[in-house]
Amino acid sequence: MVENTPREKLLMGNEACVEGALAAGLRFFAAYPITPANEIGEIFSEKLPEIGGKFIQMEDEIASMGAVIGASIGGLKSMTATSGPGFSLMQEHIGFAAIAEVPCVVVNVMRGGPSTGLPTRPSQGDVMQARWGTHGDHPIIVLSPHSVKETFDLTVTSVNFSEKYRVPVILLMDEVVAHMREKVRMPDPESIEVFNRVKPDVPPDWYKPYEDSKTGVPAMANFGEGYRYHITGLTHDEMGFPTSKPDEIKACIERLFRKITLGLKDIQLWESLLVDDAEVVIVAYGCVARTAKQVVHDLREKGVKIGLLRLITLWPFPRRAVEQVAKRVKKFIVPEMNMGQIYREVLRVNAGRTQVVKVKRVDGELISPQEIMEAV
């Protein structure tokens, strides 16, 4: 029997999310209560004031997202947490954060939908909304953990990505991961890589808040530090002022995407399990990936050449990983707790190379190993 050490904790996913955010330097949280994300706000309300951070319960999710954007502009690493109905309300402000390039993290603990749906039951129905929920062409980063420990790690990564690329980052959890408990060995705080936004290295009079750079990411000055600049949801020039000039509009939008494209090797994360010799590969994410892992181990014992491609980054979609596997397998199986949202992406990227089979479930119950085995 292994004895607990001070660095080992029994945590639920929502608790690990808070721990990861604090480790990454998060100091502001605003939200409106909603199941199954409530524990995140409850814990932040206790922990943030203890370290000089700020917690505020807003009147709704729209205001919560606005407060997060404002706090980030003021220099605080900021986050909100919600579930499907609240996520829907946040979309306009997520679009504002994307075009104004305001770093922030939105945790969406998915539950059954649409509308009020199944408040206490798991789902993976918000995958496409996370990518396309706000209107217009915009970049977004979406990560999905499959365990409590990975929730800690990916929360740190989400905060880092938001600061590094000046984008809103969506941590797309599901109710199962949010509420299950696992023993987590906490890393040494000094071993955790923390990224802070790049500050301008020029005087305020020379500062261009949306100036292009080698990485496509402009330096970001915090309000209150002597730099005054214009922030708008309108398409803008490099000084932040609205523009209707086609060349400036094109440069603005294309740079938003280029900074993500240049960072794809850093952003796109996945895990391969026994894929090298596999004839059948399961593509899964979140809580369903846990079931898929068990299927792979069970069928390998019976001599079936099967592997797992676990998607950690959902958007930008890791097409390189799928394309590499598609060249040598006979079949993809995509189990999801929705009607087939990532299945459609796998089908698109596969481009007819091999067979793609979906296993779907939308009744609030987990996909069982037997359901995936039948597809195999």
pLDDT band at 364 (very low <50, low <70, confident <90, very high): very high
pLDDT at 147 over 50: yes
pLDDT in tens, 305-322: 999 999 999 999 999 999
334 closest CA partner among 324, 348, 344 = 344
CA 124 to chain centre: 13
pLDDT at 2 over 50: no
pLDDT in tens, 250-304: 999 999 999 999 999 999 999 999 999 999 999 999 999 999 999 999 999 999 9
Both structure tokens of 361: 């479930």
Residue 23, number of CB atoms within 10 A of its CB:
18
- Helix 148-165 vs helix 13-23: crossing angle, to nearest 10: 40
**Residues 211-215, mean pLDDT to the nearest whole number:** 95
Our separate counts of H helices and E strands in the chain read: 14, 15
pLDDT at 3 over 70: no
**Residues 85-99, mean pLDDT to the nearest whole number:** 98
Q: What per-residue confidence (pLDDT) applies to 7?
A: 86
Say how far apart CA 140 and CA 158 lie, in whole Å. Answer: 11
**Residues 25-49, mean pLDDT to the nearest whole number:** 98
Burial 324-358 (b: 16+ CB within 10 A, else e): ebbeebebbbbbbbbebbbbebbbebbeeebebbb
Q: What per-residue confidence (pLDDT) applies to 6?
A: 65
Q: DSSP letter string over 275-326?
A: -TT-SEEEEE-HHHHHHHHHHHHHHHHTT--EEEEEESEEES--HHHHHHHH
pLDDT in tens, 118-136: 999 999 999 999 999 999 9
Burial class of residue 198, CB neighbours in 10 A (0-12, 13-18, 19+)? middle
Q: Which domains does the chain have, with CATH numbers?
A: 8-191 (3.40.50.970), 204-265 (no CATH), 270-375 (3.40.50.920)
Both structure tokens of 326: 């598609």
Say how far apart CA 339 and CA 320 lie, in whole Å. Answer: 24
Both structure tokens of 34: 């909603």
The residue with tokens 């998060």 is: 26
pLDDT at 1 over 50: no
